Amino acid sequence: MEYTKPRERALLLVEKIEEYERTITLQKHLKAEVERRLGVARQESALIKKQNDEKIRIWPLYRSRLNTMNQERMKRDGELRKRRAYVQERARDLQNLSKARIMQLKQYIFPIQEVYGDSVEGRMLSDKLQSS
């Protein structure tokens, strides 16, 4: 600082003091805002921790229920597979039985070729029966 008059020097010092006071005030406000945000964050953290603790406490109950439900599902899936296999087997049996009955009907009950003989209708009908 150059040599200045004492009055000017005093004014400069007063201005610097005021500037420092404003800076200190701003820093205090900033500190208060940071502390407020930290307080909110701590409250949220405490709430989340409480919820986590509650979920951890309840988890074994849900896990046992889930395991029971999985076992029940697997059991029912097995039963369903058995029922489907049984139904498919019965469907094949019925299909084979129907084919056998139709063959019996063709062979023993409806000897159409002999009834119509050499007529046109008889030949057409016998051709249809032989092709099927």
Q: What is the pLDDT of residue 88?
A: 96
Q: What is the pLDDT of residue 121?
A: 58
For residues 112 and 129, is the Cβ–Cβ distance under 8 A?
A: yes
For residues 15 and 1, is the Cβ–Cβ distance under 8 A?
A: no
Name residues whose C-beta falls within 8 Å of residue 9's C-beta, 6 or more positions apart in sequence: 1
For residues 43 and 35, is the Cβ–Cβ distance under 8 A?
A: no
Look at 117 and 103; give whichever has higher pLDDT: 103
Query: Helix, strand, or coil here: 2?
Result: coil
88-113: pLDDT as tens digits: 999 999 999 998 888 888 777 766 55
State which H helix or E strand residue 29 sits in: helix 6-104
49-84: pLDDT as tens digits: 999 999 999 999 999 999 999 999 999 999 999 999
Q: What's this model's pTM, rounded to 2 decimal places?
A: 0.43
For residues 112 and 125, is the Cβ–Cβ distance under 8 A?
A: yes
Q: What is the pLDDT of residue 92?
A: 95
Rounded distance between C-alpha atoms, residue 1 and residue 8, angstroms: 12
22-55: pLDDT as tens digits: 999 999 999 999 999 999 999 999 999 999 999 9
